[in-house]
């Protein structure tokens, strides 16, 4: 065998080994699991939601939309923040399933959709007008599919972990969303009050990452004790 080829084979073997050692391991049951919960709040005065004029399909989309880029509730809770443990090696099994992603009133619902890698996203069109679903992916194949009114569901299987995948409707410029495909089950997306909870976490020291599409990213260290809830409250703001 040629020496360069041998080198390439050795490199490949090494990278396969590295991938195996860093892979997440799912176990049947987590003994004495704890949880991580908290709230993500806006620091300072939250800006009013940006208004976006609607220039087509007004009978379905309305005249004006509020941008989903930043949704801050009455108590300053920030919706749609992705919360994920970044350094967990072992815990409950990742179970791919089915996630639903709807287009209704010319908005994507949910705006941020997190699921287990290997899941199928059922893309619905509840509007009865033409939308298209255009993803920008790197780990998974990008796709761009028109969804006319007669096509009620498109199934998209997302095989690989990827964070995040941008989704855009080319027909309606304000329509965008984010998909997050995870390689372990310890993630959450904040609700309208900015609250989240991640359960069944094996006791240990973790790094928890908070990501918001316009406010950026921050990391917190968290210690989880057996059968206890570790509270993590975070503030984010525009830089």
Interface with Cu ion (CB under 5 A): 131, 169, 171-172, 175
Min dist CB 150 to Cu ion, Å, is 15
Q: Which residue has the tokens 């050795």?
A: 10
Min dist CB 186 to Cu ion, Å, is 33
Kind and range of the H or E run holding 175: none
Min dist CB 154 to Cu ion, Å, is 13
How many C-beta atoms lie closer than 10 Å to residue 135's C-beta? 20
Please provide residue 145's backbone torsions phi and psi, each rounded to the nearest 5 degrees: -125, 130
What is the helix, strand, coil percentage profile of the chain, to 5? 10, 45, 45
Q: Whole-angstrom Cα distance, residue 196 to residue 114?
A: 13
Task: State both tokens at 79.
Answer: 């919706």
> Given the complex with Cu ion, which of 119 and 168 has the nearer CB atom?
168
Min dist CB 147 to Cu ion, Å, is 8
> Given the complex with Cu ion, which of 54 and 195 has the nearer CB atom?
54
> Given the complex with Cu ion, which of 71 and 169 has the nearer CB atom?
169
> Given the complex with Cu ion, which of 30 and 171 has the nearer CB atom?
171
């Amino acid at each position: 065998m040629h020496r360069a080829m041998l080198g390439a084979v050795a490199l490949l073997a090494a990278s396969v080994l590295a991938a195996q050692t860093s892979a997440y391991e799912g176990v049947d049951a987590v003994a004495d699991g704890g949880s991580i919960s908290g709230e993500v709040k806006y620091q300072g005065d939250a800006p009013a939601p940006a208004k976006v004029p609607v220039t087509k399909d007004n009978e379905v989309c309305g005249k004006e939309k509020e941008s989903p880029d930043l949704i801050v509730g009455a108590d300053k809770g920030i919706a749609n923040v992705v919360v994920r443990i970044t350094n967990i090696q072992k815990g409950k099994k990742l179970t791919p399933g089915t996630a639903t992603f709807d287009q209704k009133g010319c908005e994507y619902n949910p705006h941020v959709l997190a699921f287990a890698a290997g899941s199928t996203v059922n893309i619905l069109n509840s509007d009865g007008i033409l939308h298209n679903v255009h993803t920008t992916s790197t780990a998974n194949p990008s796709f761009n599919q028109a969804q006319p009114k007669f096509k009620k569901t498109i199934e998209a299987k997302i095989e690989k972990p990827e964070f995040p995948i941008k989704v855009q409707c080319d027909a309606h410029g304000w329509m965008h969303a984010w998909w997050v495909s995870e390689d372990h089950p310890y993630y959450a997306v904040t609700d309208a009050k900015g609250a989240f909870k991640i359960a069944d976490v094996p006791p240990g020291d973790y790094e928890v990452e908070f990501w918001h599409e316009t406010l950026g990213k921050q990391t917190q260290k968290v210690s989880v004790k057996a059968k206890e809830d570790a509270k993590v409250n975070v503030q984010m703001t525009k830089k």
